[in-house]
Structure 1
Amino acid sequence: MLWGCFSSAGTGKLVRIEGKMDGAKYREIIEENLMQSAKDLRLGRRFIFQQDNDPKHTARATKEWFGLKNVNVLKWPSQSPDLNPIENLWQDLKIAVHRRSPSNLTELHLFCQEEWTNLSISRCAKLVETYPKRLAAFNGKPGDLIVINRLAYHHWAIYIGENEVVHLDPEGGDSSSSLELLSFRGEVKRQKLTDLVANDSYQVKNLLDQRYRARDHYVIVKEASSMVGRQLSYNDDTYNSQHFARDLRYGEAESRQVRRAACPAWAGLAAARAATNDFSDRRLLYRSLKRLSK
């Protein structure tokens, strides 16, 4: 387990956590590393510190420590999605360390330290710069549809609260046939929204609310959670991540009506979409390129 911090001026300390992480350990870490990081990054005395509402972070003794050190802590609403931009840096770090294939814990720790210091100042500054915009843009509630704007397609998920989503991952299942271009199996996954989004933009988009009544949010969340781990038949045109999420929000019967109404328009779409950036999911693009290269 690691603790780290950063600002628009770059990365601060990165600490390997030994033993059980409790309130006392957390206060020991920030005592030894937070103020020094602020000094190294030249933040001055009036910097604002952001953390989530973990009980270790909000304990009375921890609050007293912040008060004694005159640290301004950003108020973080309860039951709010954790959109702390450091989540993006953790993902960057994970990718960079994985590429180096550490063979033991010593190498893992060493590579983490090296790659953490290699994270660019421009990357850190960009995350801080876009933070207010991303906070204002997300107003999701449990049961909402989330659309993620990938480079060449849109991926959809159901928001279930606490910064978590359930989605149908086309990369998670087994291919049903090497001869089939569009059909294979995807896996239903539960992930942190920030992990799934990574560096892409996203928004709430309950696209059929004007036509159909959404089911109660607790029904949506319960059903979505119960499906995690399942492998489902996946087809880029007839059952992709959007269909999966839409079925959960509106109910399978209503969503199926929409699919039937749209079928004539989809008949020749598979080939035409290769010239656009509106792919519903990535597998069609990858497989089309693979087929063309043969």
Structure 2
Amino acid sequence: MGCCCPGCLLSPVPKPKEGDLIEIFIIGFQHWAVYVGCGYVVHMVPIGKVAGARISSVVSPLAERAIVKMELLSKVAGMYEYRVNNKHDDKYEPLPPNMIVQRAMEKVGKEVPYSLTQDNCEHFVNELRYGIPRSDQVQKAAQSMGISGVLVGFLFMVFAGTRSLSENH
């Protein structure tokens, strides 16, 4: 589905195609979505927090569930820059665009597991496009943090455990 409006034809940003991965640059991290056509993307949003990727991804590191939403790319990206980034096409064969869109649409409205390190929005879109869940952000953060990452991870687990205990009493 191509757009023929003059503004789109003149835009320096390449127009996304169905099945493309969209990387949204938010301060300190990236949010990921898959383009499904007509200006819409499918993405995951942690449950129980403020709606919208711009806020919920920042304030929801301890969320355990997410909801899959279909929203306008312009709403999801808001004031942040974004780009088409099918960065693993050279490593993995992408599924056909119609299959990527179909797989994404089947998940809309469903609750899915969420974990900042194992089931985040980047894992989600890579699974849809390539059939392989992976997150380069997590890998890069782990590499750059080195030994201090072990300490941060330990403190994160202690905090999460303390939070879980306090919620059960």
Q: Which category describes the TM-score, using the shorter chain as reference length?
A: 0.5 to 0.7
SS in 1 for 2:64: strand
Match of 1:95 in 2: none
Match of 2:23 in 1: 147
- Kept in 2: contact 1:143–1:158 (CA 8 A): yes
Match of 2:62 in 1: 182
5+ residue gaps, structure 1, are 1-77, 85-131, 276-283
Which is greater in Rg? 1
Residue 83 to residue 154, structure 1, CA distance change in 2 (3 Å)? farther
**Aligned: 1:245 with 2:115:** no
Residue 169 to residue 217, structure 1, CA distance change in 2 (3 Å)? same
Match of 1:55 in 2: none
Query: Where in structure 1 do 4 or more consecutive aligned residues deviate above 4 Å?
Result: 81-84
Quote the offset at 1:193 in angstroms.
Answer: 0.8
Quote the offset at 1:83 in angstroms.
Answer: 10
Residue 236 to residue 161, structure 1, CA distance change in 2 (3 Å)? same
Letter of the structure 2 residue corresponding to residue 209 of structure 1: D
How many correspondences in the alignment? Answer: 137
Letter of the structure 1 residue corresponding to residue 133 of structure 2: S
1:220 to 82, 90, 100: 100
Structure 2 length-normalised TM = 0.68
Residue 79 to residue 250, structure 1, CA distance change in 2 (3 Å)? same
Distance 2:12 2:4 in 1: 12
Aligned residues: percent identity? 30
Quote the offset at 1:81 in angstroms.
Answer: 8.7
- Kept in 1: contact 2:61–2:115 (CA 8 A): no
**Aligned: 1:166 with 2:89:** no
5+ residue gaps, structure 2, are 50-59, 164-169
Match of 1:14 in 2: none
**Aligned: 1:255 with 2:133:** yes
Distance 1:149 1:238 in 2: 20
Distance 1:83 1:225 in 2: 29
1:268-293: per-residue Cα shift (whole Å, max 9, x none)? 67x74xx9xxxxxxxx9xx99xx9xx
Residue 225 to residue 174, structure 1, CA distance change in 2 (3 Å)? same
Residue 209 to residue 188, structure 1, CA distance change in 2 (3 Å)? same
Residue 224 to residue 181, structure 1, CA distance change in 2 (3 Å)? closer
Letter of the structure 1 residue corresponding to residue 75 of structure 2: D
1:233 to 113, 118, 122: 113
Distance 1:163 1:190 in 2: 10
Distance 1:247 1:234 in 2: 14
